[in-house]
Chain A
Amino acid sequence: MKKNRWKIILILISIAGTLWYLYPTYKDINYQKKLSQLRGEDSLKFVQENLDDIQKVRQKRIKLGLDLQGGMYVSLEVDIVKMLDNLAKNKDETFRQILAEVKKEALTSQEPVTSILLRKFQERGIRLSRYYGDIRQSDAEIISELEEQAEDAIDRALEVIRNRVDKYGVAEPSIQKQGNNRIVVELPGVKNREEVRQLLQSTAVLEFKLLKPADIAIKVMQSIDNYLAGKGVADTVDTTNVVTQKQDTTKTIAEELGADTSAGLSEFEKFKKEHPFFAYVRVDEGTGIGFVMARDKKMVDFILSRPDVKNLIPPDFEFVWSAKPFTAQDGNQYYNLLAVKKDPEITGKVITEARATIDPDNNSPIVIMRMNSEGAREWARITGANINKHIAIILDGTAYSWPVVRTKIVGGSSQIEGLDSPEEARLLEVVLKAGALPAPLEIIEERNVGPSLGEDSIQKGLKSAYLAFIIIALFMIVYYLTGGIVADLALVLNIAFILAVLAGFNATLTLPGIAGIILTIGVAVDANVLIYERIREELAIGRTLRSAIDEGYSKAFSAIFDSNVTTFLTALILYNFGSGPIQGFALTLMIGIIANLFSAVFITKVIYDIVADKYPTVVKFG
């Protein structure tokens, strides 16, 4: 008992940890059940009330793969052929012919498109500078520039897609860059496939929109607030006064919310009744820009999308969100809500260049933006007429920056300052380019799983898992008597460990993953079978129970270890090869192997150490 003290502590800790990691999944299932019973506004209210907890358990639960919950998997590549077409100048018949050949070859070849292009040009003895870059540039220079463009294009596309998917409101989307020119998007639960394709492939729209003056913005928000509170529309109260007062109240309320006292909550409830809009949106008086806590964004969206509320918003007026939340001093994440003029001053098509760089004067990150001559003329007029006003840079309806116009900008070269970090500058560069140089994306792989198929798969998967478990567990008991019970206990722990590790590492459970767990049920008992058969042999040659157990464990170990390593190795190779679902399988298999060594060998040995000493008559191996 004494020598096993640390082992027992380790086992208890691991079991406690398992329960800790599995609890959010259990809670999440309960929330989902509850939510499926509620409808419309009720469910939104329920979500609002329990938002923190729901989000917390959501993040920590076991995630289901697309194949189980249904949804869409799309792999996109920048259509480099199309990009080459867009970038070329003085296009003629020869060029079109070459490009058609490149397109045909690129379809099946592994060779980079740019090098196919170069080859085709060289075959014909034409220099690339005829269509691209500068007349003085060599082919190699132009090719490397084109390659750079292609790589740039993928970053632009990534930002555009991220922005749109965020706006589209898919829960737990996954958007990843894969390799140099591929983007993999996973959207669980999406039903309208055509819409998503549009979303992913349509050209980005970059617009410059003027912010509405603060007093007008506040007035509109005030009227929304009044209307929601049931006070009727358009009163002529001294708005500025009300807003200042409100600001103070919201501030204290936010503080009290942070402290989370029930008194604060009830005061908040009271405030919410009187000012249903300002309870969520805090307004900066000077600029008329709203601040909304990240968790309230959905609620505000919901309010603003109500048809009766929409009627209160003037026709030339529009609310847009900031693209990324920022962390305020109170530690909460906030989005900005901007009131802008609906019609854009100018669109991003006129931008010829955007570059993130460092201001040599004060070492702060800036972005330099250049426009073509037509754009420059317009830009001079716009900036001249709006000095000291904010102009928002809006990509696909989300604001990335809203710099203040300092002077009239003549000549088309503008400088955007006041950025917090080089990353922010780089992001702005990407955004500014996105409107001017579209990155044509091509869907190269798409998989859709209907929710009913996913549901079906889960049901069948669970059913076979239960059945497999029952049969194996019963067999072990019949064959090895009490030894079987111990082995079964190890099996239960093994499965629980796999699930807990999946939850703990934020991994995804896929259908092949379930197959992996089922397989583990079959394989996991192998370790115990090896040990028990060995113990039976040792008992047969006349050893005592105690020494037979020790011998059985120690002699069986090398075989157990080697056979687990080989399986682990193949699972590891499979993990590196596979895509989503297959990786899920390989992962559960790997976790299962490690969990198996721990539960079937380590834990059962401790159990025998204890039981064989105290109750030797109970210990039987059939």
Chain B
Amino acid sequence: MRFIGKTNIKFIEKRKIWYLVSLIVILVGLISIIFRGIPLGIDFLGGTEVIVRFEKPVAIGDVRSAIAQVGLAKSEIKIYGTHNEILIRTSEQAEGTKMGEMILSALQSNFPDNKITILNEEKVGPRIGAELRRKAFYTVLFSLIAMLIYIGLRFKPIYGLGAVAALFHDVLVTLGFCSIFSTVSYLNIEMNQSLLAAFLTLVGLSVNDTVVVFDRIRENLKLHKALDFISIVNKSINETLSRTIITSGTVIVVLLILLFVGSEVTRGFAFALTIGIITGTYSSIYIASAIVVDFTLARQRKAEKEKLLKKQPVSAK
């Protein structure tokens, strides 16, 4: 069986259009991030979060008014999974950890004939939140630097730059999508440790595709010395296209299963990774490879110019 036979698509020639497309997508995402943001989870925000399960379905408005009675009107209340499970989050920090009990008793007195159990309760102090934000920033930064160095060493520095540019692109696009889709309550998107883990995994996986293409470029450069650089890159992308699509396909299938069958807890993670893998596949071609082409062409032009400049005095003699 074969999805894709031998192809000869001229990827690189169209790169300018795709630069523009990427730019637009990133801009839309950034606008969403600026105006809507990504809701910060309790890991980063600090506060108290309680997930309760009601025996019978309840209306979210009733829960809100019950919570408001104990002075937590500003709490965030949303459906978690099914209609019987509700997540309540407040940034208020009671001395000790009385908040959970307070919420539970408020709910119990308002829904006397509905059995309520606490599924999950988390309390994160403000210092932990701040610490985590700082650590998260450094973690993503370190991973990008690590990629830059590794690929720069294994291939050429330019390739490292191309790969990292693609990674930036993937992270930005995925952040944008997460922000746009953060209103879909099914997905449970919020900036927490598990979403951060998704971003780092995405860095690791999306660079995979890039590496495979680069590897083929490296090989073809040795084999076909006569071909110009654009043709070599195009040839390499075409040759690896079948593999790229199959691998990305299997990973996406798995992630979709995780998204729709897996636990609520990992949904945001699965969503972010799905987007990340799709953009990662795309960016390995239109960002990473394309940037390497542009860099290389620019350098070739510069080298030719210098050559001409050097030759001129000689020919003048």
* Interface residues of A, Cβ cutoff 8 Å to B: 67, 75, 107-108, 110, 193-194, 197, 201, 443-450, 452-453, 456-457, 460-461, 463-464, 467-468, 471-472, 475, 478-480, 511-512, 515, 518-519, 521-523, 525-526, 529-530, 533, 537, 540, 555, 558-559, 562-563, 565-571, 573-574, 576-579, 581-582, 585-586, 589, 622
Contact = CB atoms under 8 A, between A and B. Distances in A.
A141 B128 CA distance: 30
Contacts of B118: 448, 450
Given A108-B130, A566-B204, A582-B197, A452 B121 contact: no
A555 B119 contact: no
Interface residues of B, number: 73
Interface stretch (B15-23, B255-263, B293-301, B304-312): B255-263
Interface of chain A: mostly helix, strand, loop or mixed: helix
Nearest to A580: B193
A530 B127 contact: no
A609 to B, nearest CB: 23
Contacts, number: 218
B201 interface: yes
Contact of A443 (B96, B127, B205, B265): B96
A585 B257 CA distance: 18
Interface of B: 1-2, 6, 51, 53, 96-97, 100-101, 117-128, 130-131, 135-136, 138-139, 142-143, 146-147, 150-151, 154, 193-194, 196-197, 200-201, 203-205, 207-209, 211-212, 215-216, 219, 239-240, 242-243, 246-247, 250-255, 257-258, 261-263, 265-266, 269-270, 273
Contacts of A479: 1, 246
A565 B212 CA distance: 12
Contacts of B250: 472, 475, 522, 525-526, 529
Contacts of B151: 562, 566
22 contacts: A107-B127, A448-B122, A453-B51, A468-B253, A468-B254, A479-B1, A480-B1, A512-B266, A518-B258, A525-B247, A525-B250, A526-B250, A530-B212, A533-B242, A559-B211, A559-B216, A562-B211, A562-B215, A563-B208, A570-B146, A570-B203, A581-B193
Contacts of A562: 151, 154, 211, 215
Contact of B265 (A511, A522, A565): A511
A601 B201 CA distance: 22
Contact of B254 (A445, A521, A529): A521
Nearest to A540: B6
A563 B216 CA distance: 13
Given A67-B265, A479-B246, A526-B208, A582 B130 contact: no
Q: Find the residue from B121, B207, B254 having the highest chain A CB count within 10 A.
A: B254
Given A452-B53, A570-B201, A446 B247 contact: no
Task: Kindly list the 4 A-B residue pairs having the minimum CB-CB distance in the complex, ordered from nearest.
Answer: A522-B254, A570-B204, A444-B125, A567-B204
Given A446-B97, A452-B117, A519 B154 contact: no
A74 to B, nearest CB: 9
B140 to A, nearest CB: 9
Given A444-B128, A519-B201, A581-B194, 6 more contacts: A110-B131, A460-B262, A522-B254, A567-B208, A569-B204, A573-B142
Contacts of B139: 573-574, 576-577
Contacts of A471: 253-254, 257
A112 to B, nearest CB: 12
